Amino acid sequence: MILVVEDEPAVRDMIGMTLEQAGYQWVAAGDVGEARARLAEGRPDLVLLDWMLPGTQSGLDLARQLRREELTRDLPVILLTARDAEDDKIRGLDVGADDYITKPFSPRELVARIKAILRRAGQDEEEAVVTVGGLTLDSASHRVMAGENKVSLGPTEFKLLSFFIRHPDRVYSRDQLLDRVWGSNVYIDDRTVDVHVRRLRKALSPFGCDRLIQTVRGVGYRFSEQE
Among the listed ranges 48-56, 141-149, 158-166, 190-198, the one in contact with Ca ion (CB under 5 A) is 48-56
Q: Which of 45, 50, 99, 179 binds Ca ion (CB under 5 A)?
A: 50
Residues 51-110 that bind Ca ion (CB under 5 A): 52
Element housing 5 (H / E)? strand 2-5
Q: What minimum distance in Å lies between the beta carbon of 73 and Ca ion?
A: 25
Query: How long, in residues, is the chain?
Result: 227
Among the listed ranges 27-35, 50-58, 95-103, 212-220, the one in contact with Ca ion (CB under 5 A) is 50-58
Q: Which is nearer to Ca ion, 26 or 223 (CB)?
A: 26
Q: Which is nearer to Ca ion, 50 or 98 (CB)?
A: 50
Q: What minimum distance in Å lies between the beta carbon of 7 and Ca ion?
A: 5
Pairwise CA distance, residues 175 & 91, whole Å: 34
Residues 4-33 that bind Ca ion (CB under 5 A): 7
Pairwise CA distance, residues 129 & 55, whole Å: 43
Strands 46-50 and 77-81: parallel
Q: Which is nearer to Ca ion, 52 or 145 (CB)?
A: 52
Pairwise CA distance, residues 126 & 139, whole Å: 5
Q: What minimum distance in Å lies between the beta carbon of 109 and Ca ion?
A: 18
Element housing 99 (H / E)? strand 99-102
Q: Which is nearer to Ca ion, 78 or 193 (CB)?
A: 78
Element housing 13 (H / E)? helix 9-21
Among the listed ranges 46-54, 96-104, 131-139, 191-199, the one in contact with Ca ion (CB under 5 A) is 46-54
Among the listed ranges 49-57, 143-151, 163-171, 197-205, the one in contact with Ca ion (CB under 5 A) is 49-57
With contacts defined by CB under 5 A, how many residues of the chain interact with Ca ion? Answer: 3
Measure Cα distances from 158 to 57, 63, 164, 175, 181 in Å: 39, 31, 10, 18, 10
Contact 161, 144 (CB under 8 A): yes
Element housing 215 (H / E)? strand 213-216
Pairwise CA distance, residues 17 & 14, whole Å: 5
Query: Which residue has its beta carbon closest to Ca ion?
Result: 52
Q: Which is nearer to Ca ion, 49 or 193 (CB)?
A: 49
Measured at the CA of 12, the angle between CA 106 and CA 65, to 5 degrees, comes to 100
Q: Which is nearer to Ca ion, 30 or 76 (CB)?
A: 30
Residues interacting with Ca ion, by CB under 5 A?
7, 50, 52
